[in-house]
A and B are shown apart, each in its own frame.
Chain A
Amino acid sequence: MTQLRFEQEHSARWAETEALLRAARLRQWTPDQVRLPGLYRQLCADLSLAQHRMYGARLCGRLNALVIDTREIISKGALLNRRRALTRFWSSCPLAVRREWRLFWLAMLLFWGPFFAFIIAAYHNERWIFAVLDESTMSSMDEMYGENSPVHHLREKFGSNFMMFAFYVEHNIGIGLRTIAGGVLATLGAVVSTALQGILLGAAFGYTHYQGNAERLYTFAAGHSSLELMGLVICGVAGMRLGMAVLNPGNLSRADALKVTAKQALPLIYGGPTLVFLAAFVEGFWSATDTPADMKWMVGGLLWVLLGSWLLFAGRGGPDEA
């Protein structure tokens, strides 16, 4: 069969496919479009024939484009099973954390080590703290958590809770996401970022120990501390997991290892920033209210226990357990 006859025989069907694609792109849904999968199969056969018979670049190019476009329209709109996604998130993140327990404890060390070191420094050698914090930070800490500062310093106006919530979303989740992304650089970004957060927060907390009302800061931070700090640690674990693909790709090439590891680290990549988001919620709308301190400590403690149990026990006994 010559090329001319081939085109004559099939051009009606190709024109019909093109018309259906055009309508689908404009989101005009017609009952005819149910024929698209069948037309797609025939198009694939036509393309294969045209390539094999070497009918030329023009015809092959046209069929090539048609196949690609039809496939795009057909494959789109895979429905998201929301309930399954939610249950998967609930169990897959702790499972991943338990699977990566070495990296988890390393991240914990990287964060809490400097944190407590700087708090201890407040009592022994406060120059460490002054090396880290700058003037403006120290003066704002004085304002907010000094001996005589008012209870809710920044939250008097309408909407200021929302503003702080939004600020924490942008700032803290941004840090978490950068930690994860930085991990690709052979874990360097994640390691440095986690340790840096430990240093900065430790210095800030240590400063209030040294000169200020530490109890006020702890009361403020109690509610959201578990969510935010463990969220950050989990982001660190995710970043280091990606970095380990570069450092230790095993039998795969580094590119392939990155691809595979990203799938494995996905629960962590979703889990960490989600925890930080929840923390922003608590920090924005609850932590600065004038609930009594005891209540805040209780809620904070409760959240720590809940978070710990979630990480320790959720997803156990399920089919995905390693």
Chain B
Amino acid sequence: MSTTQAQGPVAGAADYLDQRTGIATAVKGFARKIFPDHWSFLLGEIALYSFVVLLISGVFLTMFFVPSMGLVEYTGPIASMNGQLVSEAFASTMKLSFEVRGGLLMRQIHHWAALLFMASIVTHMMRVFFTGAFRKPRELNWMVGFILMILGLAAGFTGYSLPDDVLSGNGLRITDGVIKAIPLIGAYMSYMVFGGEFPGADIIPRLFTMHILVVPALILALVGLHLLFVVLHKHTQYPGGGRTDKNVVGFPLFPVYVAKAGGFFFIVFGVIAFMGATMAINNVWNYGPYDPSPVSAGAQPDWYMLFLEGSLRLMPGQTEYVIGGYTLSLNVLIPAVVVPGLLFTFLAIYPFLEAAVTKDKREHHVLDRPRNVPVRTGLGVGFLTAFIILALAGSNDLIATHFSLSINAITWTFRIALFVAPVLAFWITKRICLGLQRKDRELVLHGHETGRIVRFANGEYIEVHKPLNDQERWVRVNYDAHKPLEIEPREDSRGVRRKGFKKDQMLQKLSRFFFEDRIEPVTPAELAAAHSHGEHDQLESHAPAAQLAATDGGAVLSDHTPDDHGHQH
């Protein structure tokens, strides 16, 4: 069979399609689109691929799940549930786990994929945050990503509640409590959500609609928008020689990234399938069918909601007040509404906040090294510290049993740590960043230490420093050290107070917080000065390697005076 014949039908079909859609241009454009190479750019792909796995496994589960709270008697292979009165949702979850071929595997794949989806979104967000990839023109895409994260939480929450086991019912009960804590309208809202007194008979069908229709449709649409923005903005790249805000250095989509991304999809699918096949997750038959009375020890939400659980566990319970017959449950409102509100608001507005305090209107396509923006990096680490402390507080009972500690002591430690540790983490991170920047400056000005000690004729010892190569230097000197904002005075030349001064003043204060401590990058003038002045510096950075090498390793340079060196180049 000749090659032309083999290509015949394919080429024919492609031509047919192209003549009718003009798709060749698009394919050509995409195939040649350049993407920069870095492992951290694959973190977002993990989220995308686990979402694909979620869709596929989710469709399978939908075939067997019955979203109803009607009661039936369970009969099946699980002895501990036999003959018990359970909801149809629970019974169908049991049935699809034990009586549908491959059902349990699919359920476990679905759940692990959900956990991985959220974990990869968080890791991806951390990468974007710490490298400043959210700066202009990508602020909107950060918002899209942020909303995707919230939708991911919503998808996880609605799915977690569907099997109607004791654990998921406990989660719903907390939700009910949070809704009821909303002043004045809380009770009405709860009746609306649950279609009557908790738990009612409506919540599972409602959550089901949200879980399989509304939330995934929104996620799918926003994933499309998210990726469209990536194509429109082009991908960011890490700093390095030749990489600027006006170019993209990397490889074409076809064949390099098609192969890499395609392969990575199967790796992600493989890891999820491996976990689904070997590690049990959410064994609903352990918890039993939901009934509002029991709560078992170790009742916690999935990890991405654990911070909320921790926030509730840390809050002292005395802050519930009855005012004129109305209950104000600050003990629930603060931990379940105010705390996540603060955390999420910080995430959502951060790009705009930073744009405001830098007044930077330029486009940025080269990423920041985290050390070069110490306050941002510090804030990020502080934020993560608070999040992790809350998540640990949500696991305080397991920490108590596994490390033989008193749960009361743990709770108090976390209560204090929640306020102290993020500040400490911020401060320490900022100092480390500044230290690393100083180290970079030092390195650029003086070069690498070589460990070679040289003695001059006059008896002076110096250590020979090897200058940085161009790539090393580029990475260390190409960054902006923003200065605090300068604002116009309160009154103009005619002594009239101007509008907006107060706001400017606040921005200036914030800007000072961000940029008061900063390490300026080495300027060409400083570099030149370091190379040409001073007896040590000139030798340290420019002692020609060839010349020293000629003296054979550690031998002394006794026949050269420092002055001689100064004239050799």
Q: Real complex partners, A and B?
A: no
A interface, CB within 8 angstroms of B: none
B interface, CB within 8 angstroms of A: none
